[in-house]
Amino acid sequence: MAQQVNDNNFEEIVLKSDKPVLVDFWAEWCGPCRAIGPIIEELSKEYDGKVVVVKLNTDENPVTPTNYGIRSIPTLLFFKNGQVVDKLIGAVPKPNIKAKLDALL
């Protein structure tokens, strides 16, 4: 299951991770966010132990999305060694997300 992160623990969980990290920036009211939610959960199971998969609610945590210039959701940011290395915006198909994850491994 994808872990929930917030403004307070983002640095510890995402930036200091020794594994690649997928961050799903989402909100409860966002239809496309709800559409890819199950895909994010599937990927968290498929990549368990290889990639850290987390979700950040942009309504409850405004600081981190602002820091990364998140203007629309869902936005998926891919981190490696504490740096953003890729991103996807919108409700994209699972194969597109998997391709980005596989490139990080």
CA atoms within 13 A on the CB side of 18: 1
- 30 catalytic residue (yes or no): yes
Q: Do 27 and 58 contact (CB within 8 A), yes or no?
A: yes
Residue 8 to residue 60: CA distance in whole angstroms: 11
- 33 catalytic residue (yes or no): yes
Spot the catalytic one: 13, 33, 53, 54.
33
Spot the catalytic one: 13, 30, 76, 97.
30
For the annotated catalytic residues, the residue numbers are 30, 33
